[in-house]
């Protein structure tokens, strides 16, 4: 019995070391020594919309950010453009609370099947809005904030929410524990293409850690 406990501890430790180097902090770890570019304050339309294909996954690695507020701020607010991964100390040192990330995507036609937005890492917790419509979220977005920093999030978006042409995605990220905060690059596409990477990451970071 003692030998089995030791082996289980060793395997779990090895798994977590591997996660730390490969999966555990996708992009956000690099930000510690390679700060993302930060542009001057500008309107939300300063960031061009990203073209989205109907049969592929698109990675969103640039956003406009704005701290505070309960609802998504309007496009004329004092948004600031940043690259993802982004940690708050790069733009608002010492700030804790809520940070809005704004993305613009354009598609020739609104999807006729279920799509999703995949957040490999949002610290501590996050809620997605698409074209002003709030999506479901997990846990608490207010104090005490749910510590979902190690849990990947896969947010399903109903087909009727998308529009032909331009679409606006807001992601509200909340901090609240040991000054941990930030957002890794976001992925967007058909649910059928995002489920596999989401489930693999969920097992490695959450479920597999308790075997």
Tell me what pLDDT residue 33 has: 35
> CA 190 to CA 130: how far, in whole Å?
15
- Assess contact for 79 and 102: CB atoms under 8 A: yes
> Can you state the angle between helices 191-205 and 2-22, rounded to 10 degrees?
130
Q: Are 91 and 82 in contact (CB under 8 A)?
A: yes
Q: For position 23, what pLDDT does the model report? A: 41
pLDDT of residue 135: 96
Residue 156 token pair: 């399903």
Per-residue pLDDT reduced to its tens digit, 138-151: 888 888 888 877 88
Average pLDDT over residues 13-36: 45
Residue range 45-99, pLDDT digits in tens: 778 999 999 899 999 999 999 998 889 999 989 999 999 999 999 999 989 899 9
Instruction: Tell me the pLDDT tens digit for each residue of 129-188.
Output: 999 999 998 888 888 888 877 889 999 999 999 999 999 999 999 986 656 789 999 999
Residue 146 has what pLDDT? 81
Q: Which residue has the higher pLDDT, 11 or 134?
A: 134
What is the DSSP-derived secondary structure letter of residue 132? T
- Give the pLDDT confidence score for residue 38 in this predicted structure: 55
Q: What SS3 state is found at 198?
A: helix
Written as six digits, the tokens of 84 are 């993802």
CA distance 67 to 86: 13
Residue 27 above 60 pLDDT? no
- Confidence check: pLDDT of 196 > 80: yes
């Amino acid at each position: 019995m003692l030998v089995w406990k030791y082996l289980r501890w060793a395997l779990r430790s090895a798994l977590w070391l591997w996660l730390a180097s490969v999966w555990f902090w996708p992009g956000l770890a690099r930000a510690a020594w390679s700060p993302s570019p930060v542009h001057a304050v500008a309107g939300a339309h300063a960031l061009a919309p990203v073209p989205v294909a109907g049969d592929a996954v698109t990675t969103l690695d640039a956003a406009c950010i704005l701290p505070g507020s309960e609802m998504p701020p309007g496009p004329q607010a004092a948004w600031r453009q940043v690259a993802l991964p982004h940690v708050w100390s790069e733009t608002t040192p010492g700030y804790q609370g809520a940070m809005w990330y704004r993305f613009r995507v354009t598609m020739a036609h609104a999807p006729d099947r279920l799509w999703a937005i995949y957040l490999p890492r949002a610290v501590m917790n996050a809620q997605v809005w698409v074209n002003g419509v709030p999506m479901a979220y997990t846990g608490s977005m207010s104090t005490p904030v749910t510590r979902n920093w190690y849990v990947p999030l896969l947010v399903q978006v109903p087909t009727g929410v998308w529009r032909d042409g331009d679409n606006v995605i807001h992601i509200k990220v909340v901090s609240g524990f040991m000054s941990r905060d930030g957002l890794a690059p976001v992925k967007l596409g058909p649910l059928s293409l995002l489920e596999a990477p989401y489930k693999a990451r969920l097992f490695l970071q959450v479920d597999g850690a308790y075997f």
